[in-house]
Chain A
Amino acid sequence: MTEITWGFPVVLDLFFAGMGAGSFCLAAIASRREGQGWTACFRMASLLAPLAVLVGLSMLVTDLGYKSRFWRTMIGFNMKSPMSTGSYLLSAFFAVSIIFAIYGLPVDTRDRIPLLGRVSIWNRPQWKNRVGVIGTILALGVSVYTGVLLSASVIPLWRSLSLPLLFFLSAVSTGFAGGAMLGMMSLARTNPEAMEGPLQFLKRSYRLILPFYLLVSLALVFSLAIFPSTRVEAFGLTTGWSGLIWWVGAMGLGIIMPMVLVMRGKKLQVGEAWVLFGCLLGGGFLLRLVLIYAGQGAM
């Protein structure tokens, strides 16, 4: 079976939807802390979340091909279909992430938003926190949905039970990296040292997330290799061109390299952080790419 029904737009959708969700989680955490570095992270990550989701959603609609299919998905709600629950989750998350991004805007920019810019709700920190918590719960749903969506198909590689968790971890690692990278960019000229606090937090988070991520990725391969009916899938994923992308790209670049960077005892420097975030984003993208194409026997 080499017919590609789920092509590059789906890869981009999964990557960007995941990154948007992860970025929101970082923004919600950063919004609770003071300091220039944390504020920059909050601002940039909360802006990245709706933008990334928008790119992902537009890819998804492009991939549907017909407008009527889009309306059918939107009008009917079907609990059993992850396509349906997922698009509702994504829409809800998109709305909440826009509200949170407005909280992140500087006051004088916010005041210029017509009609809604001067509503008193923007000045209430407890509302900001509530939006952050609701959005984080929705973000968790969105990032898991990307895995559940694939696992509802008939393709053996995607039916693995570890996929939802793997995609969640990939979403968090790419989202944190994307949001923090933009935060670093915004401070690069003025005050790069302000990123010290967020960077040490990210380092500690990655110390938890990355070994977990590695374990779940290996669990995916082993769970496929154990059963005779799916052994060929494990072989297809881990050898040849897809094997190269899987081991060197998704595992090496996306997990092992970042793990080496964060597991050292020394403090994470700004220069190292650029490499770390670049590796995580590249590896996360290649993970989605190789799983989509190898699952359909196209690599």
Chain B
Amino acid sequence: MRKCSFCIQRIDRGKEPACVAKCTTGALTYFSEGKGPRDVQAYGKDERLHMVYAVEGRPEDYALPEPVPLNKVTSLQAWKWLIGLVPGGVTLAWLWKKIEDGEMRHD
């Protein structure tokens, strides 16, 4: 299952992903969010699990732990950009200032 794309080419043609179509025990299903059977909730949607489970009823009925929601503040992607961009920008600005000041103008 390298780089699973949920068989995007099949889905585009209105088919199910190959794994769902081939699943003999019927353990795998495929449906768009909110369009599946009633009482089904997506377990692991916001928790960055590798897999999202369609769970009927409560997670503990399946011996699954109560999902731990992602920390909305620390998981914000903007932090990662800022942590790189701000000190990086300051470093580059310092180098530019050095060259503009002509501090090393003895060549």
Specify whether A and B are partners. Answer: yes
Give the interface of A toward B (CB within 8 A): 3, 5, 25, 29, 32-33, 35, 37-38, 65-66, 68-69, 72, 80, 82, 136, 140-141, 143-144, 147-148, 151-152, 154, 161-165, 167-169, 172, 196-198, 200-201, 204-205, 208-209, 212
Given contacts A69-B5, A154-B50, A204-B104, contact A29 B88 (CB under 8 A): no
Residue contact B92 to A164, C-beta cutoff 8 Å: no
Residue contact A144 to B3, C-beta cutoff 8 Å: no
Say which one of B16-24, B30-38, B57-65, B93-101 lies at the interface with A: B93-101
Given contacts A32-B99, A136-B92, A154-B50, contact A196 B107 (CB under 8 A): yes
Q: In terms of DSSP, what is the predominant structure of the interface of chain A? A: helix
Smallest CB separation, A67 vs chain B (Å): 11
Smallest CB separation, A5 vs chain B (Å): 6
- Output the nearest chain B residue to A147 by Cβ-Cβ distance: B84
Residue contact A161 to B83, C-beta cutoff 8 Å: yes
Residue contact A29 to B81, C-beta cutoff 8 Å: no
CA A169 to CA B87, docked complex, whole Å: 10
For window 53-101 of B, CB contacts with A under 8 Å fall at: 77, 79-81, 83-85, 87-89, 91-92, 94-96, 98-100
- Output the nearest chain A residue to B74 by Cβ-Cβ distance: A161
Chain A residues with CB under 8 Å of B48's CB are 154
Residue contact A197 to B107, C-beta cutoff 8 Å: yes
Given contacts A65-B3, A144-B85, A209-B91, contact A161 B79 (CB under 8 A): yes
Give the interface of B toward A (CB within 8 A): 2-3, 5, 8-9, 48-50, 77, 79-81, 83-85, 87-89, 91-92, 94-96, 98-100, 104, 106-107
Q: In terms of DSSP, what is the predominant structure of the interface of chain B? A: helix
- Output the nearest chain A residue to B5 by Cβ-Cβ distance: A69
Smallest CB separation, A187 vs chain B (Å): 13
Smallest CB separation, A168 vs chain B (Å): 4
- Output the nearest chain A residue to B49 by Cβ-Cβ distance: A154
Can you list 6 A-B pairs with a CB-CB distance of less than 8 A?
A3-B2, A141-B85, A151-B80, A197-B106, A201-B98, A201-B104
Chain A residues with CB under 8 Å of B49's CB are 154
Residue contact A144 to B77, C-beta cutoff 8 Å: no
CA A167 to CA B100, docked complex, whole Å: 26
Given contacts A68-B9, A200-B104, contact A5 B88 (CB under 8 A): no
CA A72 to CA B3, docked complex, whole Å: 15
Given contacts A154-B50, A201-B99, contact A5 B3 (CB under 8 A): yes
CA A32 to CA B105, docked complex, whole Å: 12
Given contacts A33-B99, A196-B107, contact A212 B84 (CB under 8 A): no
Residue contact B77 to A148, C-beta cutoff 8 Å: yes
Instruction: Sort A-B residue pairs by CB-CB distance and give the 5 closest, nearest first.
Output: A197-B107, A164-B84, A144-B84, A168-B88, A148-B80
User: Which of B79, B87, B95, B100 contacts A205, CB < 8 Å?
Assistant: B95
CA A109 to CA B7, docked complex, whole Å: 49
CA A165 to CA B86, docked complex, whole Å: 9
Chain B residues with CB under 8 Å of A29's CB are 95-96, 99
User: Which of B2, B88, B98 contacts A144, CB < 8 Å?
Assistant: B88
Q: Could you say which of B8, B79, B92 has the most chain A C-beta atoms within 10 Å of its C-beta?
A: B92
Chain A residues with CB under 8 Å of B107's CB are 33, 35, 37-38, 196-198, 200
Residue contact B83 to A165, C-beta cutoff 8 Å: yes
Smallest CB separation, A19 vs chain B (Å): 15
CA A63 to CA B27, docked complex, whole Å: 31
- Output the nearest chain A residue to B1 by Cβ-Cβ distance: A3
CA A68 to CA B89, docked complex, whole Å: 35
- Output the nearest chain A residue to B50 by Cβ-Cβ distance: A154
CA A212 to CA B94, docked complex, whole Å: 13
